[in-house]
A and B are shown apart, each in its own frame.
Chain A
Amino acid sequence: MRIKQCFERLSSEGRKALMPYITAGDPAEKTVDIMHKMVASGANLIELGFPFSDPMADGPVIAEAHERALSQGVTLNDVFSMVTRFRENDNTTPIVLMGYLNPVEIMGYEVFADRAAQAGVDGVLIVDLPAEFAGDLVEHLQPKQIDMINLITPTTTDERIKKICSVASGFVYYVSLKGVTGSNKLDLDSVQSRVAHIKGFTDLPVGVGFGIRDGESAAAISSVADGVVVGSLLVSELANYHSQGDSTIDRVSGHLEEMRQAMDK
């Protein structure tokens, strides 16, 4: 429900959603703190990655964040604990867990859905679970009012967009570039026409990610979409946490503030 309310509220204010991604456990002792700081810097929804040993759809920046989290022993249950702690002080910002299927499979869909709901998770994006195989998980998430977030890419066919929109809820996530996370070329015109095209299939808000690196690109994307996802840029700052400490978190906040300002202009 928080996701729907978030987009409705922003829409009524004429604003767009700023949706940062970080990997939970990178670093473990700071994740909850970073989440609060991101909200204070203008984030509307948080995508929280749960680590996996083989993040095959991610580029080096986010893949290394998964490795750093795992080297600290962060498990899916730890990620739920982080969300629980975040919820002690923030009961409105939606949280989308983003990761790969195997940890969810091993936990079991039912237990996963239970614990996610208890922790206060609002949406789940499983990178390697295509819409056609997502039915079982959706069946467990739906009764808990947890949204299934799905990706759509520049090459997704109309037939697949239909399929994806039929299982998706909350919002759909348009990946504006081919390739892995952390790529950095962006073609605004094609994003605009694709987002418009997707909106022909669904009433859900459309968030756009991949290739957003600064206020200018965030503002450009937010002019054609309902939300902007930024990940690799933030994660690449946090990669230096162990050598540079809290200044890396300040830089994350700085990026988000810049984007927020540019998007609200």
Chain B
Amino acid sequence: MTIEDKNSDYKNLKDLPDDSGHFGRFGGRYVAETLMCVLEELEATYKKLWNDPEFQADFDRDLAHYVGRPSPLYHAERWSESLGGAQIYLKREDLNHTGAHKINHAIGQALLAKHMGKKRIIAETGAGQHGVATATVAARLGLECIVYMGAKDVKRQALNVYRMKLLGATVVPVESGSQTLKDAINEALRDWVTRPEETFYILGTVCGPHPYPEMVRNFQSVIGREARRQCLEMTNRLPDALVACVGGGSNAMGLFYEFLQDESVKIYGVEAGGHGVESGEHAARMSGERQGVFQGQRSYLMCDDDGQIIESYSVSAGLDYPGVGPEHSHLRSVGRAEYPCVTDDEALASFRNLTRMEGIMPALESSHALAFAEKLAPTMEKDQIIVVNLSGRGDKDIHTVAEIDGLTF
């Protein structure tokens, strides 16, 4: 199946998911019966509070005074000029407290946990960014925090492990399976079904069983609301294109959602091409046609002919996941968004370009979005506008880049 239903009405895209948690045929709630009851409870609470002005006010206040929102929309003039095409504006999520967009949904979910009277927070983390954001909000609310992290990632991301410990969280290395992010999610789900009454699971992306994809998107959608308003204020028009990297897809959905009905705005979600899709070492889930069910949702994914999940690869840990959010899967299948991929090398080159040309050091995840913008901008007119979500800052990646440069500290 390639792109189906191309003419479907964009006007309805913002109304998804449906009551069963589906975005078209993607999404849903494919979990064991042991989890159904906790998910139904979470959904009911979330739906009630998301429409509660008092909750919204609490959330907005935290975003303003704790996260530091609104984040700027910055016109990268020198970089745009060097590319010789469209004007590129960067949505500066890297300036948020804890250095990435993850704090937006961590705050939202922690507020839910507080309302539900949960004393114990669990989370999964890959690179550690979502773990740090969760440990941060748990510290602030005085909640116990347990972060599951693949044993391989614990070794690779020692700095973030220590950050989480400083924040008072317990980091549990997960030794099962591939010992990476997907296994950390499995372990967090196992924890949750074992102690559901006292536990709130703060999931780190727009994946997983309903209501997580919707809930995390809505907590992140502040990115797109701000960017749309800022772009109109600064340029008096809407952007021509949006670009964001897609691991699970939370920063991308956060940016895209508000623009889904703006048909003139092209949408690009950039996946990690790793060593190149043909090498097999990548995380370009939507470059293939494989769809299936994994960790609670139906989506594009990476698996073998027997349905076993394949380990993904990317230089950027935050994009290194074999599944992808169901809403992205739907946007691809109806043709509303395109999902190109860029390689490790292209992302690393853009990491260096932005650092040298704008004095902004992007996360390697965000560098994938930048690398695609570098390809896209020259194909567009100089008065056209691209908004790129600069989803996180690159400090955490300095070790990785230094290693590639042959340096050790």
Show the binding face of A for B, using Cβ within 8 Å.
51-57, 59-60, 63-64, 67, 70, 75-77, 100-107, 127-130, 132-133, 150-153, 155-157, 160, 164, 175, 178-180, 183
Contacts and interface: CB of A to CB of B under 8 A. Distances in A.
B383 interface: no
B138 interface: no
A201 to B, nearest CB: 14
Contact of A106 (B20, B34, B182, B305): B305
B176 A178 contact: no
Given A54-B309, A76-B306, A102 B33 contact: no
Contacts, number: 123
B98 to A, nearest CB: 28
Contacts of A128: 30-32, 293, 296
B33 A56 contact: no
Contact of A153 (B30, B34, B291, B305): B34
Contact of B33 (A54, A101, A104, A175): A175
A211 to B, nearest CB: 13
A217 B78 CA distance: 73
A156 B36 contact: yes
Given A105-B307, A128-B296, A151-B34, A179 B176 contact: no
Nearest to A180: B190
A131 to B, nearest CB: 8
B309 A179 contact: no
Contacts of B296: 128
Contacts of A75: 306
A156 B37 CA distance: 6
B177 interface: yes
Given A75-B306, A103-B308, A178-B196, A151 B294 contact: no
Contacts of B36: 130, 153, 156, 160
A47 to B, nearest CB: 15
Contacts of A70: 308
B76 interface: no
Interface string B174-195: 0011000011011001100110
A51 B33 CA distance: 19
B128 interface: no
B211 to A, nearest CB: 14
A179 B303 contact: no
B176 A67 contact: yes
Contacts of A54: 177, 182-183, 186, 294-295, 309
Contacts of A106: 290, 292, 303, 305-307
Nearest to A70: B308
A169 B401 CA distance: 57
